């Protein structure tokens, strides 16, 4: 049976994830891990799960707003797609979840992939702008900017903005270039992220 390009890419992604997982766990001290799991306070899992679900719900509502002028989609459907996408980001390389989300939405809701993928790009731009605004506001409200703790917090906030610019934006730019090259997106889209390059 001849495999399609899509299936080959999927298999390669799984293999890459297995290799990365092995590289991650090969030096783990299993006895230390066992003791840590035994002594852990699992009550913290409950608020963590609640907050994580809340974040996904908010993201689904925001995504629904971005798609509202195209098609009315229920928050529940978008929540399931969002959860799958972020799960893929955690286990697959190259932030595949950012592509998987619009791909699944295209199949479920009969929306053009280029349109769906464009909303993901807009989402990430909003994320970056939100982090920048948050950082500026926090720094402006610091009563003693010279204080070591305040400087540390400001640097941590700035590092989050840098992470978006240096990790997420380049990943989306790469996928945009790939899709533009194969004709899935308009070719002019490949220049969209050039303004964010360092």
To the nearest whole percent, how much of the chain has pLDDT over 70?
Answer: 67
Q: What confidence score (pLDDT) does residue 176 get?
A: 60
Confidence of residue 132 (pLDDT cuts 50, 70, 90): confident
Binning pLDDT at 50, 70 and 90, where does residue 18 land?
confident
Which has the higher per-residue pLDDT, 141 or 61? 61
Q: pLDDT tens, 144-168?
A: 655 555 566 666 666 666 665 565 6
pLDDT score, position 9: 73
Three-state SS at 2: coil
pLDDT at 150: 57
Model confidence at 198, pLDDT cuts 50, 70, 90, reads very low
Least confident of 10-24, 57-71, 80-94: 10-24
Per-residue pLDDT, 153:
60
Q: Which two tokens stand for residue 2?
A: 């001849």
Task: Supply the pLDDT for residue 196.
Answer: 47
- Higher model confidence: residue 175 or residue 104? 104
The pLDDT value recorded for residue 73 is 93
The pLDDT of 6-15, averaged and rounded, is: 77
Tell me which residue of 114, 100, 104 sits closest to 73, measured CA to CA: 104
Whole-number Å distance between alpha carbons of 9 and 96: 11
125 pLDDT higher than 80: yes
Q: How many CB atoms lie within 10 A of CB 157?
A: 18
137 within 8 A of 156, measured Cβ to Cβ: no
Mean pLDDT of the chain: 77
State pTM to two decimals.
0.63
Question: How far is residue 62's CA from residue 80's CA, in Å, rounded to a whole number?
Answer: 14
Report CA dihedral (23, 25, 29, 32) to the nearest 10 degrees: 150
pLDDT digits (tens, 9 = 90+) for 46-63: 999 999 999 999 999 999
């Amino acid at each position: 049976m001849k495999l399609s390009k899509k299936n080959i890419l999927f298999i390669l992604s799984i293999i890459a994830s297995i290799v990365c997982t092995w590289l991650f766990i090969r030096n783990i001290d299993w006895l230390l891990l066992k003791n840590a799991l035994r002594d852990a306070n699992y009550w913290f899992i409950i608020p963590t799960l609640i907050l994580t679900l809340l974040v996904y719900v908010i993201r689904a509502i925001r995504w629904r707003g971005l798609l509202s002028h195209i098609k009315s989609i229920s928050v529940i459907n978008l929540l399931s797609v969002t959860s799958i996408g972020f799960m893929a980001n955690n286990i697959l390389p190259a932030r595949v979840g950012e592509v998987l989300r619009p791909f699944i939405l295209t199949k479920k809701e009969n929306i053009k992939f280029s349109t769906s993928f464009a909303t993901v790009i807009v989402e990430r731009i909003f994320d970056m702008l939100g982090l920048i605004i948050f950082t500026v506001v926090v720094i402006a409200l610091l009563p003693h900017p010279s204080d070591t703790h305040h400087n540390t917090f400001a640097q941590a906030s700035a590092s989050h903005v840098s992470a978006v610019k240096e990790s997420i934006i380049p990943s989306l730019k790469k996928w945009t270039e790939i899709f533009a090259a194969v004709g899935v997106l308009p070719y002019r889209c490949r220049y969209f992220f050039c303004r964010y390059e360092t």
